């Protein structure tokens, strides 16, 4: 029997300022709300991250996978959708796959996280992929997501995230 996964990492588990610095590289804002506060723009409800325009709303207990997923949505959506963004990022199935892939790549940009831990947290939260786990999907079934990100120039040919928003 597998050992239970530890609880999902939260924003407060990261080094101070790490998430803010990553979000700022893309010209976006991270609004840290007090513990216990409602999170405006949260699709799933607190403590999950919220989206309103170019601002991600979080608390210290927001799971990092949620922050990265919503952040990746803002990166991947076009300017028109971003202009009207509030709560529901919307998008197509191919874009959603690209969002999941990008959030994994972005995990390597955060000190104290990394893709391996993020993929465990995604599985623990309940992300579901055809191959049964986030890791298996990422390694063996995500060519379409990589291609989508490359086509929109959101990753380079080494699969490194590029600090830009989709126009």
pLDDT of residue 4: 52
**Other C-beta atoms lying within 10 Å of the C-beta of residue 164:** 13
Closest CA to 87 of 39, 38, 43: 43
pLDDT of residue 1: 46
pLDDT tens string, the chain, 167 residues long: the values are 454 546 899 999 999 999 999 999 999 999 999 999 999 999 999 999 999 999 999 999 999 999 999 999 999 999 999 999 999 999 999 999 999 999 999 999 998 899 999 999 999 998 888 888 999 999 999 999 999 999 999 999 999 999 999 99
Per-residue b or e along 71-107, where b marks 16 or more CB atoms closer than 10 Å to that residue's CB: bbbbbbbeeebbeebeeebebeeebbbbbbbbbbbbb
pTM given for the model = 0.94
pLDDT of residue 6: 61
pLDDT of residue 166: 98
């Amino acid at each position: 029997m597998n050992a239970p996964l530890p609880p999902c990492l939260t924003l407060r588990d990261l080094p101070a300022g790490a998430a803010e610095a990553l979000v700022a590289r893309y010209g976006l804002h991270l609004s840290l709300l007090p513990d216990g506060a409602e999170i405006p723009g949260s699709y799933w409800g607190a403590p999950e991250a919220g989206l309103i325009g170019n601002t991600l709303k979080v608390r210290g207990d927001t799971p990092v996978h949620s922050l990265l997923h919503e952040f990746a949505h803002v990166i991947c959506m076009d300017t028109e959708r971003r202009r009207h963004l509030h709560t529901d990022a919307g998008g197509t199935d191919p874009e959603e796959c690209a969002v999941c892939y990008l959030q994994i790549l972005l995990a390597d940009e955060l000190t104290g996280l990394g893709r391996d831990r993020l993929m465990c947290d995604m599985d623990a939260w309940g992300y579901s992929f055809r191959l049964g786990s986030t890791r298996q999907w990422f390694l063996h079934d995500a060519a379409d997501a990589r291609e989508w990100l490359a086509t929109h120039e959101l990753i380079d040919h080494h699969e490194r995230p590029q600090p830009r928003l989709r126009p």
